Amino acid sequence: MIALMRGFVKCLAGLVLLISLAFPALAQLDARAKSYYEDWLRTANRAENVIDASRASNLALEQLRSELADFRQTFQVKRGENGERIQTLQGQLDALGAAPGEGEEEPEDIAQLRAALTQQLNQLKVPRIVAEEAYSRADGLINEVDKIVRERLTKRLFERGTSPLNPEHWPGALRDLVHASRAVGNETLSQLRNDTTSERISGDLVGLIAVLLIGLLLITRGRSWAHRAGDYLRRYGARGTGVWTFVVSLLQVLLPLIGVIFLAAAVDLSGILGVRGSIILDSVPAWAFIILSFHWLGEQLYANQIENDLLPVQEGNQAETRFLIDMMAVILVLQDAFATIERIQNIPESSAAVYAFPLITCAALILLRLHRIGAKQRQAQSDEDGEEGAIAAGANRIIAVVRRSIYLLGFAGPVLAAIGYLNAAESVIYPSMLTLAVLAGLFVLHRFLGDLYGFVSGKGMAARDSLFAALIGFALALLALPLLALIWGARVADLTELWSNFLEGFQVGDTRISPTAFITFVAIFAVGYGLTRLVQGSLRNALLPKTRIDVGGQNAIASGMGYVGIFLAALVAVSMAGLDLSSLAIVAGALSVGIGFGLQTIVSNFVSGIILLVERPVSKGDWIEVGGLMGYVRDISVRSTRIETFDRTDVIVPNSDLITGTVTNYTRGNTVGRVIVPVGVSYGTDPRKVEAILMEVAKAHPMVLMNPPPSVVFQGFGADSLNFEIRAILRDVNWVLSVKSDMNYDIARRFDEAGIEIPFAQRDIWIRNPDALAAAATEAAQGIKAPEAAVAASNPSPSPSKKRPDRPDLDDLSSADDGDGSEDGDADR
pLDDT at 15: 38
Lowest mean pLDDT among 207-221, 377-391, 598-612, 712-726: 377-391
Average pLDDT over residues 132-150: 89
| pLDDT surpasses 50 at 633 | yes
Contact 461, 454 (CB under 8 A): yes
Specify the pTM: 0.65
pLDDT at 510: 58
pLDDT band at 741 (very low <50, low <70, confident <90, very high): very high
Reported as a single tens digit per residue, the pLDDT across 27-40 is 444 567 778 888 89
User: Domain for residue 772, yes or no?
Assistant: yes
Average pLDDT over residues 616-631: 85
| pLDDT surpasses 70 at 24 | no
pLDDT band at 272 (very low <50, low <70, confident <90, very high): confident
Distance of CA 48 to the CA centre of its chain: 46
Average pLDDT taken over every residue of the chain: 79
Contact 632, 649 (CB under 8 A): no
- High-pLDDT (> 90) share of the chain, %: 14
| pLDDT surpasses 90 at 173 | no
Which CATH number is 736's domain given? 3.30.70.100
The side-by-side arrangement of strands in the sheet containing 673-681 is 673-681, 722-730, 711-717
Residues 6+ apart with CB under 8 A from 116: none
| Same domain, residue pair 310 and 419 | yes
User: Domain for residue 233, yes or no?
Assistant: no
Average pLDDT over residues 188-213: 84
pLDDT band at 714 (very low <50, low <70, confident <90, very high): very high
| Same domain, residue pair 372 and 287 | yes
| pLDDT surpasses 90 at 713 | yes
pLDDT at 739: 92
How far are the Cα atoms of 676, 683, 684, 699, 706 from residue 690, in angstroms, in the given order?
A: 16, 12, 11, 14, 20
| pLDDT surpasses 70 at 607 | yes
Query: What are the helix (H) ranges across 304-348?
Result: 318-345
pLDDT at 2: 37
| Same domain, residue pair 717 and 639 | no
Helix (H) or strand (E) holding 730: strand 722-730
Domain boundary at 718, 738, 759, which?
759
Q: Residue 654's beta-bridge partner residues? A: 640
Contact 653, 627 (CB under 8 A): yes
Contact 634, 644 (CB under 8 A): yes
Average pLDDT over residues 54-75: 88
d(CA 812, CA 335): 106
Reported as a single tens digit per residue, the pLDDT across 685-699 is 999 999 999 999 999
User: Domain for residue 301, yes or no?
Assistant: yes
Nearest to residue 227, comparing CAs of 243, 253, 259, 251?
A: 251
| pLDDT surpasses 60 at 114 | yes
Domain boundary at 644, 664, 684, which?
664
User: Domain for residue 256, yes or no?
Assistant: no
Secondary structure (DSSP) of 103-166: T----HHHHHHHHHHHHHHHHHHHHHHHHHHHHHHHHHHHHHHHHHHHHHHHHHHT-----TT-
Average pLDDT over residues 459-469: 75
pLDDT at 740: 93
Cβ-in-10-Å burial (0-12, 13-18, 19+) of 4 comes to exposed
| pLDDT surpasses 50 at 6 | no
User: Domain for residue 209, yes or no?
Assistant: no
| Same domain, residue pair 40 and 173 | no
Residues 6+ apart with CB under 8 A from 64: 46, 47, 50, 56, 145
| Same domain, residue pair 624 and 582 | yes
User: Domain for residue 342, yes or no?
Assistant: yes
| Same domain, residue pair 534 and 627 | yes
| End-to-end Cα separation, the chain, in angstroms | 119
Rg (CA), the chain: 47
Reported as a single tens digit per residue, the pLDDT across 654-667 is 988 888 888 888 88
| Same domain, residue pair 309 and 197 | yes
**Structural domain range at position 742:** 673-759
pLDDT band at 829 (very low <50, low <70, confident <90, very high): very low
Reported as a single tens digit per residue, the pLDDT across 335-372 is 999 888 888 888 888 888 888 899 999 999 998 888 88
pLDDT at 379: 64
Outline where DSSP puts E strands in 649-721: 650-654, 663-665, 673-681, 711-717
Left, alpha or beta for 277 (phi > 0: left; psi -120 to 50: alpha)?
alpha
* Own/partner pairs, 644-653, CB within 8 angstroms, 24+ separation: 653/626, 653/627, 653/629
Nearest to residue 184, comparing CAs of 350, 351, 337?
A: 337
pLDDT at 512: 67
pLDDT at 680: 92
Backbone φ and ψ of 690, nearest 5°? -65, -40
| Same domain, residue pair 558 and 476 | no
DSSP at 542: I
Helix (H) or strand (E) holding 671: none
Q: How many residues does the chain have?
A: 829
Nearest to residue 809, comparing CAs of 766, 772, 771?
A: 766
pLDDT at 213: 92
Average pLDDT over residues 298-322: 74
d(CA 815, CA 824): 10
Average pLDDT over residues 20-25: 41
More confident residue, 596 or 450: 450
Reported as a single tens digit per residue, the pLDDT across 405-441 is 887 888 888 888 888 888 889 888 999 889 888 988 8
| Same domain, residue pair 120 and 33 | yes
| Same domain, residue pair 478 and 602 | no
User: Domain for residue 541, yes or no?
Assistant: yes
pLDDT at 598: 64
Domain boundary at 664, 690, 723, which?
664
Bond before 164 cis per omega within 30 degrees: no
Residues 6+ apart with CB under 8 A from 413: 360, 363, 364, 425, 428, 429, 432
Which letter, b or e, does each residue of 738-774 get, where b requires 16 or more Cβ atoms within 10 Å of its Cβ? ebbebbeebbeebbeeeebebbbbebeeeeeeeebbe
- High-pLDDT (> 70) share of the chain, %: 81
| pLDDT surpasses 70 at 622 | yes
Contact 637, 609 (CB under 8 A): yes
Reported as a single tens digit per residue, the pLDDT across 484-515 is 898 888 888 888 888 877 777 766 655 667 77
| Same domain, residue pair 823 and 775 | yes
pLDDT band at 131 (very low <50, low <70, confident <90, very high): confident
| Same domain, residue pair 489 and 636 | no
Average pLDDT over residues 257-274: 88
Total structural domains within the chain: 5
Nearest to residue 142, comparing CAs of 501, 439, 423, 408?
A: 501
| pLDDT surpasses 60 at 589 | yes
Average pLDDT over residues 540-568: 81
